[in-house]
Amino acid sequence: MRAKAILETILYGEDIAAMRRFYEDVIGLSVRRELEDQFVFFHCGESMLLIFNPATSAVKPKSFTSAPPHGATGAGHVCFSATAEELQGWRKHLSKHGIALEADFEWPGGGHSIYCRDPAGNSVEFAEPRIWGLPRRSLRNQKLVVASHNPGKIKEINELLGPYGVEAISAGSLGLPEPEETGTTFEANALLKSEAAAQGAALIALADDSGLCVEALDGDPGIYSARWAGPSKDFALAMRNVEEKLQALGATAPEMRRAYFVSVLSVAWPDGHVENFEGRVHGTLVWPPRGKRGFGYDPMFLPDGRTETFGEMDPDAKHEISHRAVAFRKLVDALF
SS3 289: coil
What residues contact 67, with CB distance under 8 A and at least 6 apart?
A: 103, 105, 113, 115, 125
Check: CB of residue 72 under 8 Å from CB of residue 116.
Answer: no
H or E segment at 90?
Answer: helix 84-96
Cα 52 from Cα 35, distance rounded (Å) = 10
Q: Helices 151-161 & 323-335, crossing angle to 10 degrees?
A: 40
Please provide residue 291's backbone torsions phi and psi, each rounded to the nearest 5 degrees: 100, 155
What residues contact 38, with CB distance under 8 A and at least 6 apart?
A: 16, 52, 53, 56, 57, 61
H or E segment at 18?
Answer: helix 16-21
Q: Is 209 annotated as catalytic?
A: yes
Cα 76 from Cα 248, distance rounded (Å) = 57
DSSP letter (8 states) at residue 72: B
Cα 213 from Cα 199, distance rounded (Å) = 31
DSSP letter (8 states) at residue 44: E
What residues contact 97, with CB distance under 8 A and at least 6 apart?
A: none
The distance of Cα 74 from the centroid of its chain, to the nearest Å, equals: 33
Cα 209 from Cα 172, distance rounded (Å) = 16
Out of 209, 218, 220, 333, pick the active-site residue.
209
H or E segment at 261?
Answer: strand 258-268
For the annotated catalytic residues, the residue numbers are 209
